[in-house]
Structure 1
């Protein structure tokens, strides 16, 4: 069963450039694990970014997170100063 996640990244002032560099490496990897970026949103001040991402299952997210290319890009995430939170979410009707 597909699982949707909400990722929130809180960026310090000036952190968006390094965060964008990190995202340019890791977002293309999603498809290799069956992941799909449903929505990518950012506040006008570039301080908060939100992603809605769907994976076929939890194990696919785990495999994506363990990808060595993602780990190699971690210094870019660290340089951005982003505080990242990840939540499994569901539609509310």
Structure 2
């Protein structure tokens, strides 16, 4: 069953370059696991970023998150100092 996730990243001041480098490394991998970045938004002060991501299944998304290429980009994530919250979400009528 298809799933949608909302990712909220809190970004410390002065570390946006590391965060952008991390995103450039890992976001292209999403499509290789059947996922799609539906929306990418950043606050005007560059202190938070939100992604709306769809995936064919929880298993496909888990495979994306476990991709060794994502793991190899972890030092960029750590350098960014970002804190992430990941939520499975659904449409509301």
TM-score, length basis structure 1 = 0.98
1:46 deviates by 0.5
Q: Which residues in structure 2 correspond to 1:1-93 (within 5 Å)?
A: 1-93=1-93
Which consecutive unaligned segments of at least 5 residues does structure 2 have? Answer: none
Aligned residues: 93
Distance in 2 of aligned mates of 1:16 and 1:52:
20
1:15 deviates by 1.8
Output one character per residue of 1:44-82: Cα deviation in whole Å (capped at 9) or x when no partner.
Answer: 111000000000000001100110100000000000000
**What SS does structure 2 have at the residue aligned with 1:46?**
coil
Distance in 1 of aligned mates of 2:90 and 2:21:
29
**What SS does structure 2 have at the residue aligned with 1:23?**
helix
Q: CA RMSD in A?
A: 0.5
Post-superposition, which runs of at least 4 consecutive aligned residues in structure 1 deviate over 2 A? Answer: none
Distance in 2 of aligned mates of 1:15 and 1:42:
14
Which consecutive unaligned segments of at least 5 residues does structure 1 have? Answer: none
